[in-house]
Chains A and B, each alone.
Chain A
Amino acid sequence: MGINFRQETFRDDYSFKNSPEQIRRFPFPFPEDKYMYSVNIEPHVPGLKDTVFEHLFDVDEHYISEMQDRALVLAEDPLRCQSLPHMELAGWDTLELLMTEKAKSYPDLFTLTRDGDKWHWINRPLGIDDHFTFGDSSTLPYGPLEYITRQSQGDFAVLDQRDNNLWMDAGIVTTQADWSLDFDIGMNFFEWHAPVPLAHQMGVFTRALKFLMAMQQGQPSRRHNWTMTINSRLDTSPENFHKWGTDRATVTPENVGQKVHLRVEVQMFFRLPRSNALLFPIRCYLLKMDELVTSPKWARRFHRVLRDLPNELAEYKGLVRYRPTVVEWLSKYDDGAPTSAGLGPD
């Protein structure tokens, strides 16, 4: 198999880009030519070849560079990774799930050897070879959650389940679509979702919470979310908004193709065995507009989605300033032909 890991940046000179194979496997999130919030949850079943759903936890060509970017964010702001004291066990659950799945899916990259609670973990792409005692944090350089998620693409929220609700009591968040773990930690499902427009009134969150609370171990689920990002910046945090906000004012008809990205989150839900917590990985994929339009179907569909997006959503997602420029640019790729069913690029 052999993944060709790219050496690239998500800041400063923004050298990030996708290979043609990576473009084909991009998790395009729109099943229709329009978009509105819904309870879009489906089973997270591995096995779909040449998609990001081939394995439970996708490792791709951006792995090493994304992990380097995460390390930079954490060095600047350690509050991006937090765990309330009662979440330690859920941290070990997370470490176990990620190590066992990675080793199973990518045996040439990761190896886990277990002898009782004496574990040996080898991560070849990142050059890590560690022996530690499962359950004993003093044998790791970081807490279990931080240790394994510094080696796993995407953000992770860990939710404690009690009092008929989910509580955001731990997480690592460095590739987020403009929300703050530090501010939201300790909140329940309705509280951290409070800023989202329309969905509360539509009953989306009440139904979604009911589903999540009943989730069983071994039956993970997933959903898509999306927004847009100017320049290939992973860390679009509110903390740094005063530094990246001006990017939104730099979009011109000439630079849309390279500067403007569709940002898709594959969000997954796993029930954890010991803690009964819920693990919520939020995996972020970026696609340049130039890359998107290599699929005529995606180009047509995204043009229509963006053009007809309700204003409340455009405002919430922060697209208002550059949406007209991008819609105009995309319109050149939309001849009005119908789009085929399904998500694939055709």
Chain B
Amino acid sequence: MTMLSRPVYGVLTPQTGKNHLLIADADGASAITDFAKKAPPGFFASAEIMYLDGPDGAKNVQALKALSPARFYQGPSIAAALPRLRQLLAESHMGLRLYVAGTEGLIGQIVQIANEAGIEYTAVQTEHRGSLARRVQCVHCKGITENVTTQPCTCAHCGLLLLVRDHYSRRYAAFQGVCINAEDPTEIPPTEEIFR
């Protein structure tokens, strides 16, 4: 049985409305080009695409530009795009339709930012593409480790060896990491690459 705190992702589907914001990383760009095949004519004339480079740099940028959105933004990271995104969300009022495609980390963080702007997670269209790398919050020191691909992982902040649980917090946009050898610190389980 899958963990019920984990988000469920769908397939991006065009919504009615006059104001669309599509956000993708390098892995999610292909979801937007697939989505474009289903979108009604003229859809992108009322849309902004925000493209955020992945860990391996930019990919598929030209295909997104070719959709001729009303505005196109390319930024190096979520952190860099945050001021622009916050303003867009704050000024959007009720009519904005939000779509996010890409890695779980990207989707989680955009849903988190949207929630702070008053947009419910259920109102965000999401599609997962690409890496299964996880954002992990250490339950002990509260620090977040990005792009975790191994089980267990080492907390980038306090250095504890963490079991990466499936329990997920939307508020932190992160999975929970709990010390894996707390009962016997001399036990060092083998590290496996599993979130790829």
Interface residues of A (CB under 8 A from B): 79, 180, 182-187, 190-195, 200-201, 238-242, 244-246, 248-249, 321
Contacts and interface: CB of A to CB of B under 8 A. Distances in A.
B184 interface: yes
Interface string B176-193: 101100111100000000
Nearest to B182: A245
B167 A194 contact: yes
Given A191-B5, A195-B3, A183 B167 contact: yes
B34 to A, nearest CB: 30
A248 B167 CA distance: 23
B169 A241 contact: no
Contacts of A200: 1, 4
Contacts of B4: 190-191, 193-194, 200
Contacts of A79: 142
A242 B166 CA distance: 19
B137 A183 contact: yes
A191 B179 CA distance: 22
B135 to A, nearest CB: 13
Given A192-B5, A238-B176, A249-B183, 17 more contacts: A183-B172, A186-B169, A186-B171, A187-B169, A194-B6, A194-B167, A195-B3, A195-B165, A195-B167, A200-B1, A201-B1, A238-B140, A239-B140, A241-B179, A246-B182, A246-B185, A321-B183
A183 B178 CA distance: 12
A308 B167 CA distance: 28
Contacts of A183: 137, 139, 167, 169, 172, 176
A227 to B, nearest CB: 15
B184 A246 contact: yes
Contacts of A242: 140, 160, 179, 182
B46 to A, nearest CB: 29
Contacts of A180: 139, 176
A233 to B, nearest CB: 13
B140 A186 contact: no
User: Across chains A and B, which 9 residue pairs bring their CB atoms closest together, nearest first?
Assistant: A245-B182, A194-B5, A191-B5, A194-B4, A242-B179, A186-B171, A238-B139, A245-B183, A190-B4
A183 B138 CA distance: 10
Contacts of B59: none
A180 B166 CA distance: 14
B178 A238 contact: yes
Nearest to B3: A194
Contacts of B160: 242
Contacts of A193: 4
A216 to B, nearest CB: 28
Given A200-B1, A241-B178, A248 B140 contact: no
Given A187-B5, A246-B182, A241 B171 contact: no
